[in-house]
Amino acid sequence: MIMFEKVNKITQEVQAFDIQNKEALEQFRIAYTGRKGQIADLFDDIKNISPEQRKAYGHEVNRLKELALAKFAQMQDQLGASSEGQRKLNIDFTLPPIPETLGTRHPLTVVREEIIRIFERIGFNLSEGPEIEDDWHNFTALNFPENHPARDMQDTFFVEGDMLLRTHTSSVQVRVMENQKPPIRTLSPGRVFRNEAISARAHCVFHQVEGLFIDENVSFADLKQTLYYFVQEMFGPETKIRFRPSFFPFTEPSAEIDISCLICKGAGCNICKHSGWVEIGGSGMVDPEVLKNCGIDPEKYSGFAFGMGIERITMLKYQIKDLRLFTENDIRFLRQFESL
């Protein structure tokens, strides 16, 4: 009987509890409906009730709980509506209105779409792939040796096991070659990740666009003419382009792509380090081993691939000198591109 009296006493307290503000509502919650409140203690006391009275006791405690929860919900709604009404009353109608302003496309989005349009005009289609990749598609299929530095933690963000954040969109090209028979002419734009220190010239998250063309009798001349066309469409017909011999595990022969500096027009400045040339990407003929890894006969087919950083292209096109501006969401920077 003592336990039933305790239930009745708490029921009276719940009914009489005066809730005028949110502080009182929180006190009510802590005292009665919270996990450490008095109603929770009543449930814990069930084990001390005799078996013949346990059902009746549990019924009374459940009814008390429903009463407390209903009162809490009702007062919560009332106080919320009151606060909303108070906020509306506090509006100063004499203040001038806030003008509605339209947003603008991000410069990286503008340049990405322009790159896609240029290559679509010469027959390239789009392909996409996952940002979290496995070792095979990101490294092994692209002819990276097991001890290559790019596999090291200092260059790559590893997730778990052989899963990692892709370091280039070449992994998308591998997936295309595995699932599509030549001829292949595809463009793979996307976000990539590398474990690098963030500075005015580098970032751990950036964007690439890579192209792949595979067919019978594809030559380095086809690669050069494709990139000549892209550079003149993107930067203007007066822009010069050159190829420097280089090395990439997945292409042979390989070449870096340089264009004449858009700021000094080749005369030499700080941006081009007084050389008159600025690097925009890498390229080369697809290594026969890569074709084999992807199930394509290198005796019958050949192809070329190229890759460029979208941030680098954007910096050159709009003469932006700090890579970090692209990710800081500074409205002053973004407003400069409202007319694009």
> Domain containing 134 — which CATH number?
3.30.930.10
d(CA 246, CA 253) in angstroms, rounded, equals 8
Same domain, yes or no: 306 and 203: yes
d(CA 134, CA 116) in angstroms, rounded, equals 26
Return the percent helix, strand and coil in the chain, to nearest 5: 45, 20, 35
Q: Sorting pLDDT into bands at 50, 70 and 90, what band is 168?
A: very high
pLDDT at 153: 60
Strand order of the sheet with strand 277-286? 125-126, 184-193, 205-215, 302-309, 277-286, 251-260, 241-248
pLDDT at 140: 93
Same domain, yes or no: 267 and 307: yes
Same domain, yes or no: 293 and 166: yes
Same domain, yes or no: 76 and 218: no
Residue 161 pLDDT > 70: yes
Same domain, yes or no: 283 and 138: yes
Chosen domain end from 55, 89, 123:
89
Residue 162 pLDDT > 90: no
d(CA 7, CA 66) in angstroms, rounded, equals 13
315 assigned to some structural domain: yes
For tokens 């890569």, the residue is 290
pTM for this model (two decimals): 0.68
d(CA 315, CA 309) in angstroms, rounded, equals 10
Same domain, yes or no: 57 and 164: no
Chosen domain end from 39, 62, 89:
89
Owning domain of residue 18:
2-89
Same domain, yes or no: 249 and 117: yes
94 assigned to some structural domain: no
d(CA 200, CA 321) in angstroms, rounded, equals 7
> Which has the closest alpha carbon to 333: 106, 175, 27?
106
Pure H helices in the chain: 2-16, 22-28, 38-44, 51-89, 107-120, 135-138, 170-179, 220-235, 288-293, 310-318, 331-334
Chosen domain end from 38, 55, 89:
89
99 assigned to some structural domain: no
pLDDT at 255: 96
Same domain, yes or no: 128 and 68: no
Residue 84 pLDDT > 70: no
What is Dmax (Cα atoms) for the chain? 100
Same domain, yes or no: 44 and 172: no
Q: Sorting pLDDT into bands at 50, 70 and 90, what band is 104?
A: confident
pLDDT at 142: 94
> Which has the closest alpha carbon to 303: 135, 172, 145, 184?
184
d(CA 53, CA 42) in angstroms, rounded, equals 14
| pLDDT (mean) for 329-340 | 82
d(CA 241, CA 199) in angstroms, rounded, equals 27
Q: Sorting pLDDT into bands at 50, 70 and 90, what band is 89?
A: low
95 assigned to some structural domain: no
Q: Sorting pLDDT into bands at 50, 70 and 90, what band is 273?
A: confident
> Which has the closest alpha carbon to 65: 18, 25, 32?
32
pLDDT digits over 205-242, tens only? 999 999 999 999 999 999 999 999 999 999 999 899 99
| C-beta separation of 184 from 176 below 8 A | yes
Same domain, yes or no: 82 and 159: no
Provide CB contacts within 8 A for 98, sequence distance 6+: none
102 assigned to some structural domain: no
98 assigned to some structural domain: no
pLDDT at 1: 59
Q: Look at 31-35, 53-57, 145-149, 266-270 and tell me which has the smallest mean pLDDT.
A: 266-270
314 assigned to some structural domain: yes
101 assigned to some structural domain: no
Same domain, yes or no: 84 and 170: no
| pLDDT (mean) for 288-302 | 96
Same domain, yes or no: 117 and 82: no
The helix/strand/coil state of 278 is strand
pLDDT at 82: 56
| C-beta separation of 209 from 115 below 8 A | yes
Domain count, the chain: 2
Cis, peptide link before residue 183, omega less than 30° from 0: yes
> Which has the closest alpha carbon to 209: 172, 235, 257?
172
pLDDT digits over 5-48, tens only? 787 888 888 888 888 888 888 888 888 887 778 888 877 777 77
d(CA 294, CA 288) in angstroms, rounded, equals 10
pLDDT at 189: 96
